[in-house]
């Protein structure tokens, strides 16, 4: 059995986001996915102001969602 690969990039923040903010990561991903009218940093600012999220966590969620655009 191959050793498990360490999660890298924005997804590496997901366990701590779930622990700190008390919601599953799918909750946050779906909230951001509904904000298609906003730019990256606008979404980050929205998560920070409306949900009390730290900058790094907010940025990781937005980067992950935007990075998935157009991918199956």
What count of residues does the chain have? 72
Local confidence band at 70 (pLDDT 50, 70, 90 cut-offs): low
What pLDDT shows up at residue 8?
A: 85
Phi, psi (deg, nearest 5) at residue 45: -60, -40
The structure's pTM equals 0.85
Q: pLDDT tens digit string along 49-63?
A: 999 999 999 999 999
* H helices present in the chain, as ranges: 14-21, 25-33, 40-51, 55-68
Q: Which of 64, 53, 56, 54 is nearest to 26 (CA)?
A: 64
Report pLDDT for 5.
Answer: 72
Look up residue 23 and give its DSSP letter.
S
The pLDDT value given to residue 39 = 96
Give 20-50 pLDDT, tens digit per residue. Answer: 999 999 999 999 999 989 999 999 999 999 9
């Amino acid at each position: 059995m191959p050793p498990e690969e360490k999660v890298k990039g924005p997804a590496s923040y997901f366990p701590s986001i779930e622990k700190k903010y008390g919601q599953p990561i799918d909750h946050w991903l779906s909230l951001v996915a509904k904000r298609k009218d906003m730019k990256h940093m606008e979404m980050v600012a929205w998560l920070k102001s409306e949900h009390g999220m730290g900058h790094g966590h907010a940025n990781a969620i937005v980067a992950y969602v935007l990075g998935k655009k157009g991918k199956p």
